[in-house]
A = this chain, B = another copy of it.
Amino acid sequence: MNTTPLAALNHIPPHLHTIADYQKQAQLHLDAATWANLEGAAGDEYSLNNNLRAFADIQLLPRHLNTFAGANTQIQLLGEQYPHPIFLAPVAYQQLFHPQGEIATAQAAAALQAPMILSHLSTTSMSTLNQVSGAAKWFQLYWQGSRKAALDLIFQAQHYAYQAIVLTVDAPHMGIRDRERRAAFQLPAHIRAVYQSSVNTTPLKENQHPLFDGLMQQAATWEDIAWLLQHSPLPILLKGILHPADAQQAYQYGAHGIIVSNHGGRILDTAVSPIQILGTMRKILSHDFPILLDSGIRRGTDIFKALALGASAVLVGRPYIYGLAVAGALGAAHSIKLLKEEFEVTMALMGTSCIKQINSSYIYHQNS
């Protein structure tokens, strides 16, 4: 049905009030296969749906009549101050969604002062992106079998003033995305990841297992992490942590933070939703160890809930990509602005005048 997608707009239509509105609109601007790539997730999409449901099921206990003198949304993270806790999650191949791709996203990030985490699978080089000045930048890395290759990219990122590295550890193998396969999604020929190295796999011997003896031998291990932490000039956060024992281990290995994420449900279906395990993580980790929360944020109240359960900041992915697909930099910026303003109103209505006040006492527990 979606045979001729609408072109991206140069303005914001007046009916876009929420991320859900952007989601509907974005579908009109993308072909069916690209939409399946963006919107789909692994398997039966239980994790995708549960990511949203789990947020909705959390009920808030607002407080009132507090003073708002000096109220703000600032956070401190890894020695930096950020004006608000919304980060742009790394999303691959952004030219799929808009011709301006990562450049448009960087412009939106700058406009909203939302740190952008550039994907390893960017269709735009760091050099090109450097033209856009503005928000803080982090760089996301997939391990591709070589310590040297990883470190080289980190040095490049440092050169271009990226402030931190996000190492994604939950995807040694791609997610099996049924919706994408049913839509026969293929990366178009003209969309290329600038930094993707072809993984250098040794040919398999007889009786060797293509997955276990092949691809999985290229995956990062805790020893690689230790080596990388030792050599990297930039702080490194591990993204995709879901098991409390891995969170503990990341902390003990000296990682600079973790990003609790199930990759938007795109890797392993029925993986727990980050917001459900976040509280456990915060309980076992030091109060000031950075824990960012990714997957499922669609509302300002979701951001509040994540912070209340222990997140230092949150990542949003699909929400700004919807905006990007609808109206490039303008749309991406507007979608982030919607979330930011919803979050500010939430803080006002919850009676919290700064991020440090936000804690689990604002969450309703059925037997409290």
Contacts and interface: CB of A to CB of B under 8 A. Distances in A.
Interface of A: 15, 17-18, 20, 43-44, 46, 50, 56, 58-69, 71-72, 169-173, 175-176, 178, 181-182, 209, 211-213, 215-217, 219-222, 224-225, 238, 240-246, 249, 267-273, 276-277, 280, 299, 301, 342, 344-346, 348-350, 353, 361-362, 364, 366, 368
Given A61-B277, A65-B221, 19 more contacts: A20-B44, A61-B243, A63-B243, A63-B245, A64-B170, A64-B238, A64-B243, A65-B246, A66-B222, A71-B212, A71-B216, A72-B209, A171-B349, A172-B349, A212-B353, A219-B348, A268-B346, A269-B299, A272-B364
Interface centre among A63, A72, A212, A267 (most CB of B within 10 A): A212
Copies in the complex: 4
B268 A212 contact: no
B301 A270 contact: yes
B178 A270 contact: no
A268 B343 CA distance: 11
A84 B350 CA distance: 33
A216 B348 contact: yes
A169 B65 contact: yes
B59 A349 contact: no
